[in-house]
Structure 1
Amino acid sequence: MWSRLPFRLRGYLITMTGVLFLSPDALLVKATTVDVATFMFWRGLLLGVALLGVAWWRYGRELPAAVKACGPAAWWCPLAFAGSAWAFVIGVRLTAAGNVLVMMNLAPLVAALIGWWVFGERLRRQTWVVIVVCVAGACLMASGEIGSGNPLGLVVALGVPLCIAINTTVASAQKSQSRRGVDTTVILPLGCLAMLVPGALLGGVQLPSAADMQYLLTMGALLTVAYFGIQTGPRYLPGAEVSLVMLLETLVGTLLVWLWVGEVPTVVAFIGGGLIVAAMLISTLRDLRRQRQKAAAGAPDSRQVLEAAAEGGPDAAAEPAVGPPGVRRSDGPR
């Protein structure tokens, strides 16, 4: 069943699953009472142990080789991953969670600009339209939060979209023998290490209370699934589109606050959420329709070509040198 799905649709489903598990993150940050350094130390430790266990289970003794295969991403992605976590937690502690979510909405635009400027990627007009519509919708949802927080929190929150964009763009730009791309999930434990070391140096090596530890354990379990899915997304999609899917966190996060805290979303929030869902749904349906039209016209099945390349089959060498669907990569050096 899974292998029969279009390559692009798999990327969206994997990334959306990760975003759904990430959505309660802001609520858990607000719920804990420990200081930021302690929170970040335990966040990095619990998440790092879980992700390292997953990576070792998948690769075993081949794990060092898998990390080496990530190339420059083995440096940039962990640092960006840790930076986004620090900026997110500090921002949520200093200002309203909705303000931080608004700042995160800039990630698709930043990722698209980085991909265009640094890696020579050219996104389709459809992708740019969806980015603009989703950013507008997410901003509408959180418009009621603007101006209610500490200005310093807003400044710190600006680091979240920048780091997310760097992570997803660099991860999707790594080339391998497989058109599926390099598996950068194996370097997430390095990001957790970069996350917990500053926390330890700032005095975060403390045992939280029983209540806080329950929140931290819950967070560790949810984020393991979340970041594994989100970091897998760039193997199937351009970085800008991975960041685009992450806008769903604004929608789901608002609904969670509504259910758990009792804050009823405004009419504007519902309109904004509807824009996000409608834009992504229409875009996906257009992609599926385009693929079916190409297949009906006699074009080769891109799914079969990509699978052959991923398996290193004889058809891999004959595959045209193009990037993921929706992105045209330059032929120049990276």
Structure 2
Amino acid sequence: MWQGMSWRLRGYLITGLGVLLLSPDALFVKDTEVDVATFMFWRALLLGTVLSLVAVARYGRDLPAAVRACGPAALWCPLAFAAGAWTFVIANRLTAAGNVLVIQNLAPLIAGLIGLLIYGQRLRRQTWVIILLCVAGASLMAAGEMGKGNPLGLIVALGLPLALAINTSVASAQKGVDTTVILPLGCVVILLPALLLGGATLPPTADLQRLALLSLVFLPGAYFCIQTGPRYLAGAEVSLMMLLETLVGTLLVWWWIGEAPTPLAFVGGALIIASLLGGGLLDLIRQRRKAAAGAPVPQTVLVDDGRVEKGGTEASKRRR
């Protein structure tokens, strides 16, 4: 079944799973009482340990070569990953989650522009329309919280969509290379400032349990899937799937803390779901029409050519 799926559908499923695992992140940030430096220290230490073990288990002695194969992503992705983590946590501590989510929703647009202007990745008109609809839906969901909290949080939050867009765009431009191996480097970049700010202190038991649950269970799977997404999708499409976090995160806060979404939130959530499902349905119909017309399956062409593992040729063709 997996082998019969289109490249784009694989990317959507992998990234979507990652976003679902990432969705409790804002809830955990709000639900802990430790300072930001301590939160980031334990988050990076625990998450980095798990991701490092996974990378070593997968590549063994070939791990240094796998990191070198990432090219420029080995520098830019860890920096962007760390910047996104710091800005997300700080912004959520300073201002309302709605403010952060509205600004985060700019990531697909920024990623689309980066891909177009720097890497020459052309998105289909359908993708641009879906991005705009989902941004509108996510903005409606967060509109009820706009204006709450410290205005400084808005300034900090501006770095979040830029960091997300750089990470997904640079990873996508590596043409199918596995960039999950450089995630531990991102954790090191997170860890160093936390150490300098005195974050290496033991938090209360309740907060440590929350941090362990988040960093050992949810985040490793989330970031592994999200970082794998650019092997199959353009950076803007990965950032587009990240908007699901707005919907799922809002529902989780409603369930756990009891903050009921506004009527606009339900309208926005419906718009996001309808846009993503509609886009996926159109892709499925298009693929079946091509198959009925006798067009070769991209995966078959890649297998015959011996390039299926790299995925670069298919990815580059798909984005032209």
TM bucket, shorter chain? over 0.9
- Partners of 1:17 and 1:5 lie apart in 2 by 16
- Partners of 2:98 and 2:274 lie apart in 1 by 21
Mean Cα displacement is larger for which, 57-66 or 233-242? Answer: 57-66
SS in structure 2 opposite 1:323?
helix
Mean Cα displacement is larger for which, 241-250 or 292-301? Answer: 292-301
1:224 to 220, 227, 242: 220
The aligned amino acid for 1:287 is D
The answer to whether residue 247 in structure 2 is matched with residue 254 in structure 1 is no
SS in structure 2 opposite 1:255?
helix
Deviations along 1:229-288, one digit per CA (max 9) or x if unpaired, are 000000000000000000000000010011111111122111100110000111111111
Shift of 1:312: 6.4
Over 3 Å counting, the alpha-carbon distance change for 1:287 and 1:195 in structure 2 is same
SS in structure 1 opposite 2:198?
coil
1:200 to 192, 195, 202: 195
Shift of 1:166: 0.0
Conserved? CA contact 1:237–1:324, under 8 Å = no
Conserved? CA contact 1:20–1:226, under 8 Å = yes
Give the unaligned 5+ runs of structure 1.
176-180, 329-334
- Partners of 2:314 and 2:262 lie apart in 1 by 48
- Partners of 1:3 and 1:300 lie apart in 2 by 14
2:59 is matched with which residue?
A: 59
Conserved? CA contact 1:98–1:142, under 8 Å = yes
2:316 is matched with which residue?
A: 323
Deviations along 1:172-228, one digit per CA (max 9) or x if unpaired, are 0013xxxxx000000000000000110001111111111110010011120001000
1:48 is matched with which residue?
A: 48
- Partners of 1:312 and 1:35 lie apart in 2 by 43
The aligned amino acid for 1:245 is M
- Partners of 1:294 and 1:273 lie apart in 2 by 32
- Partners of 1:249 and 1:208 lie apart in 2 by 27
- Partners of 1:320 and 1:203 lie apart in 2 by 47
Mean Cα displacement is larger for which, 2-11 or 145-154? Answer: 2-11
1:294 is matched with which residue?
A: 290
SS in structure 2 opposite 1:2?
coil
- Partners of 2:223 and 2:262 lie apart in 1 by 30
1:126 is matched with which residue?
A: 126
RMSD: 1.6
- Partners of 1:105 and 1:152 lie apart in 2 by 18
4+ residue segments displaced more than 3 Å: 306-313, 319-322
Give the unaligned 5+ runs of structure 2.
none
Conserved? CA contact 2:298–2:314, under 8 Å = no
Shift of 1:7: 1.7
Mean Cα displacement is larger for which, 64-73 or 255-264? Answer: 255-264
- Partners of 2:271 and 2:201 lie apart in 1 by 44
The answer to whether residue 79 in structure 2 is matched with residue 79 in structure 1 is yes
Over 3 Å counting, the alpha-carbon distance change for 1:89 and 1:241 in structure 2 is same
Shift of 1:13: 0.5
1:147 is matched with which residue?
A: 147
SS in structure 2 opposite 1:16?
helix
The answer to whether residue 317 in structure 2 is matched with residue 283 in structure 1 is no
1:331 is matched with which residue?
A: none
SS in structure 2 opposite 1:207?
coil
Over 3 Å counting, the alpha-carbon distance change for 1:96 and 1:320 in structure 2 is closer
The answer to whether residue 2 in structure 2 is matched with residue 2 in structure 1 is yes
2:38 is matched with which residue?
A: 38
Over 3 Å counting, the alpha-carbon distance change for 1:48 and 1:320 in structure 2 is closer
The aligned amino acid for 1:13 is L
Conserved? CA contact 1:238–1:324, under 8 Å = no
Shift of 1:324: 5.6
Identical-pair percentage: 67
Mean Cα displacement is larger for which, 257-266 or 302-311? Answer: 302-311
SS in structure 2 opposite 1:3?
coil
- Partners of 1:192 and 1:200 lie apart in 2 by 12
Deviations along 1:63-121, one digit per CA (max 9) or x if unpaired, are 11100000000000000000000000000000011211111100000000111111111
Deviations along 1:302-322, one digit per CA (max 9) or x if unpaired, are 132244544469xx9xx9776
Mapping of residues 172-183 of structure 1, within 5 Å: 172-175=172-175, 181-183=176-178
2:19 is matched with which residue?
A: 19
Over 3 Å counting, the alpha-carbon distance change for 1:199 and 1:293 in structure 2 is same
Deviations along 1:4-36, one digit per CA (max 9) or x if unpaired, are 222211110100000001000011011111111
Over 3 Å counting, the alpha-carbon distance change for 1:267 and 1:307 in structure 2 is farther
Conserved? CA contact 1:115–1:239, under 8 Å = yes
1:212 is matched with which residue?
A: 207
